C-alpha cells in the first residue's frame, strides 16, 4: 500500500474516532440517566415521619374523635354533606373526578394501598383536584379477623404509600366493610388517623340502577351526612351517572358539599354522631 493511501486511511480512522467521541459526548446525559437506579424521592424514614407529623388542621381533625369511636356524620348544625368514594384509585376514578369537577364539588376518597401502587398518577389527579384522601387498608381485608401486627401493617403501608405518591399524609381512615372493633380503632388511633364511617349507604356496589343510587342518597341525607359510594371494586358507570343527579337534587334542597375533614372540623360531631361498633356490611 502506498504511503499516501495509508495516510488517507489514517485520517479517515482518526476522523471516525473523533466523530464517535463527539457523538458520545452528545448522549451521556440520556444514557447515564437511563442507567441510574430509581431513587425514591422520599426515603422510608421521611415517609414514616410525614405520616406521623401533624399540622394544625391534622391535629384538629385527629382530636375530633373520642377514643374508640368512628365518626358517622358531622354535628348536623350546617346543611353540608360529604360525598365519599371507596376502593380506588381505579379505571372509573377519572370519570368520577370529571363529574365532580364539572359540578365544582369536593369529595373524599378512601383508597386501597395496592391500588395506589398500581395507579399513582390517578391518586395524584385526585389530590391535584383538591379532594381529600383517606386510608382504606392495603388489601381490603376484614381487619377484625387479623392480628394486631397485620392490622398495623395494613394501615401503615397504605398511609406510607399515600405519602410516597402525593407527598401528603392522610389523617382519615375507613375500615373495609365498615368492620371495626376496639382493637381496629386502637390501630387507627395509634396511626393518628380519625376513623370515619358513614350514615348514608348508597349500596352502589350491589349494582342498583342510577336512579336507585340517587334516590337512596337524596332521601337519606341530612345536615352533616357522610354518603358512601364507590369509585373502585367493579364497573362504576351507575355511580358516575348518579353523581350529577345527587348533587343537583341535594343543592335544590339547600345543601352544600365539603370534604369529610372540612365537614367535621366546621361542624364537630356529637356523641350521637359517633359509634364504637361496625356499620352494616359494604364492599
Ligand atoms: Ni371498601
For residue 40, give the CATH number of its domain.
Answer: 3.20.20.370
Choice among 48-57, 132-141, 199-208 with the minimum mean pLDDT:
48-57
Angle, alpha carbons 258-235-111 (nearest 5°): 45
Q: Give the pLDDT band (50/70/90) at residue 28.
A: very low
Instruction: Show Cβ contacts of residue 90 under 8 Å, excluding neighbours closer than 6 positions.
Output: 115, 119, 122, 231, 232, 233
What pLDDT shows up at residue 8? 52
Domain span including residue 160: 3-282
Question: 223: pLDDT confidence band, cut at 50, 70 and 90?
Answer: very high
Ligand 1 centre distance from Cα of residue 23 (Å): 54
The CA 89 to ligand 1 mean position distance, Å, reads 11
pLDDT (0 to 100) of residue 49: 77
Q: Is the confidence at residue 24, as pLDDT, over 50?
A: no
For residue 20, is pLDDT > 60?
no
What pLDDT is attached to residue 219?
Answer: 97
> Distance from the CA of 168 to the center of ligand 1, in angstroms?
22
In angstroms, the CA 154 to CA 143 distance is 8
From 131, 136, 140, 230, active-site residue: 230
Helix/strand/coil for 5:
helix
34 vs 58, more confident: 58
Strand partners, 132: 108
The answer to whether residue 269 scores a pLDDT higher than 80 is yes
Cα separation, 191 vs 17, in Å, equals 61
What average pLDDT does the structure give for the chain? 87
The pLDDT of residue 23 is above 50: no
Q: Is the pLDDT of residue 9 over 80?
A: no
Mean of the pLDDT values across residues 255-261?
Answer: 98
Going from the Cα of 21 to the center of ligand 1, the distance in angstroms, rounded, reads 58
230 is catalytic: yes
What pLDDT was estimated at residue 18? 45
Q: How far is the CA of 178 from the centre of ligand 1 (A)?
A: 8
Q: What is the mean pLDDT of the segment spanning 31-56?
A: 62
Q: Is 131 exposed, middle or buried (0-12, 13-18, 19+ CB in 10 A)?
A: buried
Cα–Cα distance, 237 to 102 (Å, whole number): 17
Banded pLDDT at 32 (limits 50, 70, 90): very low
Q: For residues 69-81, give the mean pLDDT.
A: 96
Mean pLDDT over 42-63 rounds to 79
Dist. CA 111 → ligand 1 center (Å): 8
Q: How many domains are there within the chain?
A: 1
Q: Given this model, what pLDDT does residue 35 score?
A: 45
The rounded Å distance from CA 29 to ligand 1 centre is 45
Torsion of CA 138, 277, 55, 228, to 10 degrees: 70
Average pLDDT of the residues in 35-64: 72
Q: What is the CA(282)–ligand 1 centre distance, in A?
A: 7
Segment 223-244 mean pLDDT: 97
Residue 25 confidence (pLDDT) above 50: no
For range 60-84, the mean pLDDT: 93
Q: What is the mean pLDDT of residues 200-214?
A: 95
For the question of residue 140 being annotated catalytic, the response is no
**What is the pTM for the complete model shown?**
0.83
Specify the DSSP element, H or E, that contains 231. Answer: none
Amino acid at each position: 500500500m502506498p504511503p499516501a493511501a495509508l495516510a488517507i486511511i489514517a485520517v479517515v480512522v482518526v476522523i471516525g474516532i473523533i466523530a464517535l467521541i463527539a457523538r458520545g459526548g452528545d448522549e451521556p446525559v440520556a444514557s447515564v440517566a437511563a442507567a441510574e437506579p430509581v431513587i425514591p424521592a422520599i426515603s422510608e424514614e421521611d415517609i414514616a415521619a410525614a405520616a406521623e407529623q401533624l399540622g394544625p388542621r391534622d391535629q384538629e381533625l385527629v382530636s375530633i374523635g373520642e377514643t374508640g369511636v368512628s365518626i358517622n356524620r358531622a354535628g348536623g348544625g350546617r346543611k353540608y354533606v360529604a360525598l365519599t368514594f371507596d376502593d380506588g384509585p381505579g379505571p372509573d376514578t377519572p370519570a368520577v373526578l370529571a363529574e365532580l369537577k364539572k359540578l365544582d364539588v369536593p369529595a373524599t376518597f378512601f383508597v386501597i394501598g395496592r391500588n395506589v401502587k398500581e395507579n399513582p398518577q390517578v391518586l395524584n389527579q385526585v389530590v391535584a383536584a383538591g379532594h381529600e384522601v383517606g386510608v382504606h387498608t392495603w388489601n381490603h381485608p376484614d381487619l377484625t379477623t387479623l392480628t394486631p401486627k397485620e392490622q398495623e401493617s395494613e394501615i401503615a403501608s397504605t398511609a406510607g404509600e399515600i405519602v410516597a405518591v402525593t407527598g401528603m399524609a392522610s389523617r382519615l381512615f375507613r375500615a373495609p366493610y365498615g368492620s371495626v372493633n376496639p382493637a381496629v380503632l386502637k390501630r387507627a388511633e395509634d396511626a393518628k388517623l380519625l376513623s370515619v364511617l358513614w350514615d348514608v349507604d348508597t349500596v352502589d356496589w350491589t349494582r342498583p340502577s342510577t336512579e336507585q343510587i340517587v334516590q337512596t342518597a337524596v332521601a337519606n341525607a341530612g345536615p352533616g351526612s357522610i354518603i358512601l359510594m364507590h369509585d373502585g371494586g367493579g364497573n362504576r358507570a351507575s355511580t358516575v351517572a348518579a353523581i350529577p343527579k345527587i348533587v343537583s337534587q341535594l343543592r335544590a334542597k339547600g345543601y352544600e358539599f365539603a370534604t369529610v375533614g372540612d365537614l367535621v372540623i366546621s361542624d364537630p360531631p356529637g356523641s350521637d354522631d359517633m359509634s364504637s361498633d361496625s356499620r352494616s356490611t359494604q364492599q
